[in-house]
Chains A and B, each alone.
Chain A
């Protein structure tokens, strides 16, 4: 009897935080919907296309980062320099033709990020520290090789990446296609399931005989390929590339992954969540721009969104574990 009567009392505190979080989240979502619906020109086809286009470049890079994060390697802080270096390679290789330049870019991107992944996977290096060092090294090498100058395309094939089949930017189709492929890989393949296990508990995964080093390196290789795709589209869009091409992409991609609800600790999350995160941030920026707020306010709101989602995910996780 005592045990039976104690159950409801012990269950109550577990549910309350979850309920509060859900309530706050619901209110936030409702407020965002009201804000969107009352924003002039938000509900137009052209604006929807603009949001998806804005989300596409960050989204593709964020898909790569999702692989890294789910695998328990936290984040890469070398996304922007990697994208810049690969973008420069892509444009300078245009004389070889678009396909050859794309292949070269993906190979280079895979190699640059894959090497970092190998060190993280096999030598258990701290990914944050390693990628800070890598970002300096990549920028240094790119600056040395290019002499610091801007790379212009050596032929015009790159412009096909700026195409708009059906009136929608090609990068949007690529984002959606890649999100589905990454999601399928994570959910339906042995590699994907292993990655979740490694991210959840690396020591247990190793004890279970999983090739932790190899899986981690493969995740980073995949991320590198996705960063390279972002680089090609970004360089094609900007028509030129230099070491600053990546801009704030590192933090934008991290924001998209976290806003999608993938925890930084790894072991959970999905590509589709990241896609939603990228679109959410692009939509928020769009609403603010349509309402006439400055770029500074847009950046601040991006930070608030990430903070709210991270806190929400943390509270819900704690609630479910309690």
Chain B
């Protein structure tokens, strides 16, 4: 009885609150629609007062944290207002992208955690006349022409990894060899493009063959487990080279090889390469357990992306697509890249 008596007033109150809220939202939307907002897609010259909504990787990702730490301060120092809508959750990223469109900034800068689910938001941004700059990974081909891009050269990263392996195996005097690859999320363009470059480069030396490719999902622990099982499957004599798509995947491969009793590095040991560098990878190259890696460090791409934004706002007409130059790193040149690769 108490419940039935008290619930109607609560229900009415809730309806009133909901109605008031809806009214406020409608009014806000109407006002927003009437105002000029920003969103000047033509890009008036100068950076002061420009607004960038940043739908990048979240700070809980080391690569993202390092990128954001370079990108945001560089733009803010030029007078650009950066609205932070970063996240590592693909679903939230789509919501944030839609939120960014409704904010009507001068530019949306986005990292695409899920390329398919961001197709619609990119199209919406285009309809709303808001320019979008995508960094790191490429967008879905259906919206490739609708966005500006500053991309990591994933194919070059794969090529560098293959070159590291071939160089290391040849240096050991091996005339043939079996290679395993533990990739990032296979369905993502980054992993696909890296494997494209890797396979193409390795095809030049058919004596070195990839015997197993497994999806490590950019997860170091999973990569270590897979490596442990692969060393059991093929034995130490069955694997001469290994590619972990990121240094944090390559290092668990090294640990798994050691635990399986397989020698690593040196004159006869397993040759392991990463392909986007981290401090622990640089230390491992210096220690001789990791043969090599390649750059794709967050600082370099953050600098180039911020520079692109500055050129765009200054109406210097940057090209629609820019690739970041990636470098191969081995013991020979590790000192040169040690600092650049030690920020994430």
Contact = CB atoms under 8 A, between A and B. Distances in A.
Contacts of B216: 295
B224 interface: yes
B33 interface: no
A148 interface: yes
B343 to A, nearest CB: 8
Interface residues of A, number: 43
Contacts of A143: 59-60, 65
B171 to A, nearest CB: 24
Contacts of A147: 59, 65, 69
Contacts of B280: 150, 152-153, 239-240
A238 B66 contact: no
- Main SS of chain B's interface residues? helix
B260 A50 contact: yes
Nearest to B216: A295
Interface string B259-272: 11100000000000
B235 interface: yes
Contact of B255 (A162, A249, A289): A162
Interface in A209-253: 234, 236-240, 242-249
A8 interface: no
A247 B283 CA distance: 23
A248 B222 contact: yes
Contact of B60 (A148, A162, A234, A240): A148
A126 interface: no
Given A152-B279, A289-B214, A238 B221 contact: yes
Given A148-B59, A148-B65, A234 B221 contact: yes
B49 interface: no
B210 interface: no
A294 B251 CA distance: 22
A46 B232 contact: yes
A160 interface: no
A171 to B, nearest CB: 9
Question: Residue among A50, A149, A169, A239 with the most chain B CB within 10 A?
Answer: A239
A99 interface: no
Nearest to A48: B232
Interface in B239-293: 248, 251-252, 254-256, 258-261, 278-280, 283-284
A183 B61 CA distance: 38
A237 B252 contact: yes
Contacts of B251: 238-240
Interface in A19-58: 41, 44, 46-47, 49-51, 53-54, 57
A157 to B, nearest CB: 15
Interface in B199-244: 214-217, 219-222, 224-226, 228-233, 235
Nearest to B219: A247
A254 to B, nearest CB: 16
Contacts of B283: 152
B37 interface: no
Interface of B: 59-62, 64-66, 68-69, 186, 214-217, 219-222, 224-226, 228-233, 235, 248, 251-252, 254-256, 258-261, 278-280, 283-284, 343-344
Interface of A: 41, 44, 46-47, 49-51, 53-54, 57, 139, 143, 147-150, 152-153, 162, 164, 167, 169, 234, 236-240, 242-249, 285-286, 289-290, 294-296
